Amino acid sequence: MTTANDAQISSVPPAQMAAWRAFLEAHAHTTELLARELKDSQGIALTWYDVLVQLHEADDHRLRMQELAERVLLSKSGLTRLIDRMERHRLVTRSACPSDRRGTFAELTPEGIAMLRRAAPTHLRGVREHFAELLDDDEATILADLLGRITRAASDATTTDRCDE
Amino acid sequence: MTTANDAQISSVPPAQMAAWRAFLEAHAHTTELLARELKDSQGIALTWYDVLVQLHEADDHRLRMQELAERVLLSKSGLTRLIDRMERHRLVTRSACPSDRRGTFAELTPEGIAMLRRAAPTHLRGVREHFAELLDDDEATILADLLGRITRAASDATTTDRCDE
DNA sequence: CACCACTCGTTGCTCATGCAATAGTCGCTG
DNA sequence: CAGCGACTATTGCATGAGCAACGAGTGGTG
């Protein structure tokens, strides 16, 4: 396509490629470790914990399904089943949205709050031990900045590529 | 609830917590984007591409199942099925290991190599566009260093916690 | 050389997730 | 105010992945 096919193949500079691989490895290993620690200590999956946190941070401890799906980085249907399972375990409940009858709220139950309180120390200890303690404040700030830049670019690409791709 | 509990709950400093969330978001968005680009252009999943790359980099374009599983960050059984599917598509073949009759090699076929050549430009363009171009060389080096540190700590924790947990 | 603990890869099972299609609802426009 | 396009959540379906159990094979020890 261009003068050299090889130029295209080697088009990611070595330092950036190393960073990319380090990024993938770090994510896989840390999340696997955190997921296992949480499962072993409380018997719940990381996705469940994430739902509990998001709901806890929301007004009235509840969110619309769509909004929650975006926050926990899951598809709508994926969230529907996840909330099904958590509802069976009494950690959340569904309730109708009065102002829009299409809408459904997922809301934290007292049991859900209790579970969050039990799980949080385990999870936060894990994040601290396997991530936070390895970074000083400056490094953490730099990291958040770099990764925020990457997220924004990816989000832009996702929203715009309906048109320009 | 109490001062002690709060201390535990807030035990990850803000800068590090922000970095952690940025880390999770960046990973979710970039991998989803890259996976979709690869699927749209070549019809293959990111895991397939990863297998092709790992085999291509290996001596004789082949690896033992176990070794390959570790490199593509998948469980043994997960890799078994993945190689099943790729074998059906003629991208890889299995062959016996002569020196250890328990062992199996997964080996790249010519079709596999061809697929890799077709997919690589798409994927590398994606990595460049959505990741590499957003970092200068110094930033990439810093990032690889920080994340490498995190990976090493997680790997250590994974291998040692059979004993100390 | 007989045994035994370990390793390797596969299989059965279960769970988790995304896509496409669907039913119900909303609100705008003619 | 009737109708239509857009949106909300759920469902059917197919795929993907891990855990535990298994059968075959290996290598070290008595």
A51 touches strand D (CB under 7 A): no
Q: Is beta strand B62-64 parallel, antiparallel or unpaired with respect to A104-108?
A: unpaired
A120-142 pLDDT tens trace: 999 999 999 999 999 999 999 99
A74 touches strand D (CB under 7 A): no
- Nearest chain A Cα distance for residue B7, angstroms: 10
**For residue A145, what are the contacts with CB-CB under 8 A and spacing of at least 6?**
none
B64 touches strand C (CB under 7 A): yes
Confidence (pLDDT) at B159: 62
Amino acid occupying residue B79: L
Print the SS3 string covering B26-38.
HHHHHHHHHHHHH
A35 touches strand D (CB under 7 A): no
CA of residue A101 to C1' of nucleotide C24, angstroms? 9
Q: Give the integer Cα–Cα distance in Å for B37 and B130.
A: 11
Residue pair A65/A106 in contact by the 8 Å Cβ criterion: yes
**For residue A37, what are the contacts with CB-CB under 8 A and spacing of at least 6?**
A122, A123, A126
Distances (CA, A) of A156 to A50, A165, B133: 24, 13, 15
Confidence (pLDDT) at A155: 79
How many Cα atoms within 13 Å fall on the side-chain side of residue A126? Answer: 24
Q: What is the mean pLDDT of each run of 10 residues along chain A (165 residues)?
A: 45 92 92 90 92 95 95 94 94 94 95 94 92 94 94 77 42
Confidence (pLDDT) at A159: 63
Confidence (pLDDT) at B1: 47
b/e map B125-151, b = 16+ CB within 10 Å: bbbbbbbbebbeeebbbbbbebbbbbb
Record: contact B134-A150, CB cut-off 8 A: yes
Continuous segment of H or E residues that includes residue A35? helix A14-42
Question: What is the interface size between A and B, counted as CB pairs within 8 Å?
Answer: 193
The residue of chain B with its CA nearest to that of A18 is: B144
Residues of chain B with pLDDT under 70: 1-10, 158-165
Q: Give the integer Cα–Cα distance in Å for B52 and B92.
A: 8
pTM as predicted = 0.86
CA of residue B143 to C1' of nucleotide C20, angstroms? 40
